[in-house]
Amino acid sequence: MSRSYFGTDGIRGKVGVAPITPDFVLKLGWAAGRVLGRQVRDSRSRNLVIIGKDTRISGYMFESALEAGLVAAGLDVSLLGPMPTPAVAYLTRTFHAVAGIVISASHNPYEDNGIKFFSARGAKLPDEIEQQIEAELAGPMRTRDSSGLGKVTRMADAGGRYIEYCKSTFPSEMNLEGLKIVVDCAHGATYQVAPAVFAELGATVIELGVEPDGFNINRGVGSTSPAALIEAVRAHGADMGIALDGDGDRLICVDDTGATVDGDELLYIVAADRHRRDGGCTGVVGTLMSNLGVELALRGLGVPFARAKVGDRYVLEMLAEKGWRLGGESSGHIICLDVSTTGDGIVSALRVLAAMQAGGRSLRELRAGVSKFPQLMINVAVAVRTDPLANVRVASAVAAVETALAGRGRVLLRASGTEPLIRVMVEGEDSEAVERHATELAHVVRSELA
């Protein structure tokens, strides 16, 4: 069954443009409440939904709409206020709620917003549940009798609970004393909890991006805009910098020289530390965009590596399929299933810091274990989204480049999931050859499909 609203990461779009409107979100809350109410009757979950949000101005509006819809369907609601996405997943589990909902558009600007659901286990909702919600959306909204309406409370200590959880994932025999860390919260959902976690473990914390005003989320700060963090690390002589995104599920770091350490390198650092200290790493899941250098470095350690489609949803699916516990994306989604059910920027940062402390090595030294290959992506606008390899000329050109790379590089052509674009990516050891091959392939794709 196709879905009209749910994408790979919930429902997201521009505020005021369907479906990101108050009337739709009201009905979405009611439809979800109808479906989740049946889940309560069929399980041991409580008749409770937990709602968190990031710091966008529109979050107030959508929080109220969701609350009203869920209550109208007979479910109780607990409001967290601004709280990271992984915190909502964690609190959903610990309170045995039937579901958690996050109001956020992650790393997008404030003009966008979205709705993301977690199951009672703190994982993404199964496809069949999303399909049931969409089926309810197609019908009329009916409010329950007053005797069957839900109740609403506010969880006053949500931040403290999550801070303690994050700290519990850091080895008890270690601390962060003596480290100076710049923490960039992107003016987003982590602005209160993230600095507290690192400070309470002993670090000297320089705060950045902790003054949200409803409009400045991700603006010039955070994991997608590391320039401010780089400048702060250099200015303060910090040991490292930590950049989170607007909802706190992504992590990008900066070493003591101001060099950016992306999700691929962080994934390698965590995997290598686990391999050394925890009796081996069973395997790591990356994506089609993960740098080949990471795969080769892990292979050198004897750690298996597999690639999922782009998107943390697909990383999670492959982790479950293989029974592995560690995966991630170049963008900074790092998933440590031994302690969390979803990507968590703060927890991932603590894993990196544990690797630094365990080996007595700086982030700069740890990242030296992987040599990233030059990689170039060119977006080619096309008439319609289609499989580019179905075109004979394109397929032939790809084969020629793969032959030229001789097993020391990769070619990836994929249609964008949201725009009429073909993404042309080439990766190899020589940057000039990579640029030449990518430009030639983009020209063929443009001439055949544009």
Helix, strand, coil shares, percent, the chain, to 5: 40, 20, 40
**Sheet of strand 375-381, all strands in order from the earlier edge strand to the far edge:** 375-381, 421-428, 409-415
For 117, the enclosing helix (H) or strand (E) is: strand 112-119
Q: Which of 288, 291, 290, 266 is nearest to 428 (CA)?
A: 291
For 23, the enclosing helix (H) or strand (E) is: helix 22-42
Residue 423: half-sphere exposure toward Cβ, Cα within 13 Å? 14
Select which of 45, 58, 104, 106 is catalytic. Answer: 106
Q: Are 292 and 410 in contact (CB under 8 A)?
A: yes
Q: Is 106 a catalytic residue?
A: yes
State how far the Cα of 364 lies from the Cα of 258, in Å rounded to an integer: 10
Q: Are 102 and 52 in contact (CB under 8 A)?
A: yes
State how far the Cα of 310 lies from the Cα of 126, in Å rounded to an integer: 18
Bridge partners (DSSP) listed for residue 305: 284
State how far the Cα of 93 lies from the Cα of 421, in Å rounded to an integer: 39
Q: Are 97 and 120 in contact (CB under 8 A)?
A: yes
Residue 87: half-sphere exposure toward Cβ, Cα within 13 Å? 32
Residue type present at position 124: K
DSSP state of 59: H
Residue 308, φ and ψ in degrees, nearest 5: -105, 170
Please list the active-site residues. Answer: 106
